[in-house]
Structure 1
Amino acid sequence: MHIFNIFKVKKEERWLAFVMLAVFVTFNAMVIASHYHVYTMDAHGGFWSIFTKNFRMSGYDCWSWITVSGGRIHFVTSRHPLYLTFLYPLYLLNDWLIQNVGYNFAVYFMAVIIVFSAFYAVLFMYRVFREVMELRRKDARLLTLLLFSFGHVLIPTMVPDHFVVSLMLLSLTLYITGKKMKKGQLLTAWQSLVLTFFTAGMATSNGAKTLLAGLFTNGKKVFTVKFISIGVVLPLLLLLGIQQSQYYLLEVPQQAVVSHIESETLKKNPQKVLEHKKQRDEWQRTHLGQPVGDGVITKLMDVSTPRIPTIVENFFGESIQLHQRSLLMDVSWERPIFVEYNWSVNYIIEAFIVLLFIVGIVFSYKQRFFKMLLAWFACDLTLHLILGFAVTEVYIMTSGWAFIIPISYGYLLRQLSMKWRKVMRVTLIMLTIYLWIYNAGQTFYYLMS
């Protein structure tokens, strides 16, 4: 599989790809237009306030806008070691443009990255359905459209965060390893190096999924000195070296500057600073789950947030159907952890989607490719629902696991009789149309209000 052929749009993919491209461009334009004048103004030294005060969408971060605008690093680079690597050159270019044109292009640079990633995520997922699972064209298109109709698969295609980039890389991994399994070929050590480097570089948890993909593709043959050293250890060492270099060259000097600014601000108006901190701490204490401890790992774990409403309202709820109340609000600022739907039909649809997913698992679990997906899904369940990482806003992680749902539907379609296949196809068409109208409509309303 030649690397350049992967990015070539095939004839049968064109109408789906370019219709979705128009959707992604439209929504990204709406996000930018929502606060166009402040997003594009030259505010050297004040970008953090501009973006954090005006951008709020479900807890997704706008740190990339801030980094590309002013070079400030607010995300945790140890969890996203490669993210800064491709943002920083954009900052250098944008900084030059600001100085010479007086206009901030950060939102446009990120929009190009987001739209590019969303576009190829569509293509790679379509190819998984079409080439790996060997579904008919219309079924592959339908299931691709269904996936991107999910609330928090659609939202990452327009927000300046890493999630849709991760989705593109994970779907690429699914496509490559799925084709390998189908042909009875092995994933080479060098292919594992590239996939692990980029997936783990974008989000370290994704690296575990790529390593699992190598295990399921190669079986016991993955345990060779060459594969482990080149395909596993080397990319992790490269990422560690990149992250540490960036940390000491960029983050440490910046932390010193930020600490100085904070201390000066505290001296100028201590009452205001302390009152703001008190209000934020009180909100988080009363509205967010409490961490297990103060350690590096334990502070990320939350066992206090109840899991049943999390599963109903957030994991399978908000992830797929946006709630009408507290629409796209941020749980760190104004959204309650749990929001109920206004309409009973939302719960009926959620129950139907989950029930059909369970049926799909029953029909799919013997497939080696689907066993790999179940292992990936188990990682997400363990990380978020058992350990409690980001459990209070678990829906923003949807794009990292939700593809298992339409894939299970695809295997179910393959094994049904002709009569029941037609029934299911019509049902999925109706479900897809409903979710697109509902979630895209909700998002449009939010951005326009």
Structure 2
Amino acid sequence: MRAQASVLHLDLDAFFAAVEQRDKPSLRGKPVVVGGVGGRGVVATASYEARKYGVRSAMSTREARSRCPHAAFLTGRFHAYRDSSNAVMGLLRSVSPLVEPLSLDEAFVDLERADLPDLDLPTVTAFAETLRQRVREVTDGLTASVGVGSSKFIAKVASELDKPDGLTVVAPGTEVELLRPMHVTVIPGVGPATAERLRRAGIHTVAELESVSLDELVRLVGKAHGTGLFHLARADDDRPVLAERETKSVSVEGTYETDLTDRKLMEGLLTRQAGEVATRLRKHGLSGRTVTIKVRLHDFTTLNRSSTLPSPTDSTATVARVARALLADLDTSGGVRLLGVGVSGLADWIQDDLFGESDPEVVEEEPAHVEAPSSRRTAWAPGIDVVHAEMGRGWVWGSGRGVVTVRFETADTPAGPVRSYPVDDPELTVWRPPEPGDAENSMAPPPRPT
């Protein structure tokens, strides 16, 4: 470990849901669930108001609706999340050249490379507090929880201790004392299956784990996992903060609080991830030939399976179809902790319709936070941005039976009026953020007063 608390971990609180609440004034302070809204949908993020009812990420939307039927269930808007993430990551890179993003809403920062007079506790504490305030400013109000410690492990643990909107700095030399009373699941990789093995051996806390020999841990959970647990139980973590390297692939993965056993749920998650990967490819004018899935089983065994296409693609339907086919060849009956989808073999051209017609299941389960082409989007999905020729900008409240209902409001207006229109009303269209140099959408009229 480092001699000073010089690793910072920043985690934006309930990120997708918080962006929706920021941009939709009528939802502020209310339960919001972002994810697939169909019968096979999966929760991507729940606001803290929804979490009080037991809603959590990776839960099926059906179960989330049963727990919190009065929540707003939204399909999400990747462009809004991407823009806020870019603002935060840009801020972090302005204070240190060593920033390691873990996802859109989470990153490590190496404070040894920051412009600080010293790395004493008062200095890094004041810096972290100022950074949190600056995050709020560059995102127009989003909050972040921050942890600072002498290693990546300790910094990440610290950021979880005072959520949401909190700051914890762990003084060097106190790491083991902090960890000892905590449950073993605080250690990365200790999911329900590993926790159960440890429980049967009488190991519940990190203090009890610390008292177990390396040989015994290897016998219980295997060499690689046991060795990792042995070191982390002693707060021994020397992993460096690694800045982004040249992009050779585009991938998305998620680790889940509870082992996944439902194959349909896993397929839905892979489809969501495939959509996000495909969107990123299209955003940067790229495509790829090799589709890879990453699966971490309940016993922490990590499997990778790949399939190479005859031509590069950036199609959500294609990537999702291949990912689900790769999953079909794996035995996941014991439970899955992590799922991921990636595309490599990148090129700057594509061959359309590689597999012919798009898969209708992919259209239904388009990821909550992915902007799909309008020709493949489920029409008027709840939460998407729209603009009306007379009323201005708003978002879809709901739709059905030939009618779409819109709440007219933006982040900069009060909670606005609700109006309903025929789904084919020519004055109502999907709103998308303007591209650089494109003034078409920027000239949309503002919403009228209530």
TM-score range normalised by the length of the shorter chain: under 0.3
TM score, norm. by length of structure 2: 0.27
Q: Which has the higher helix share?
A: 1
Q: Which has the higher strand share?
A: 2
TM score, norm. by length of structure 1: 0.27
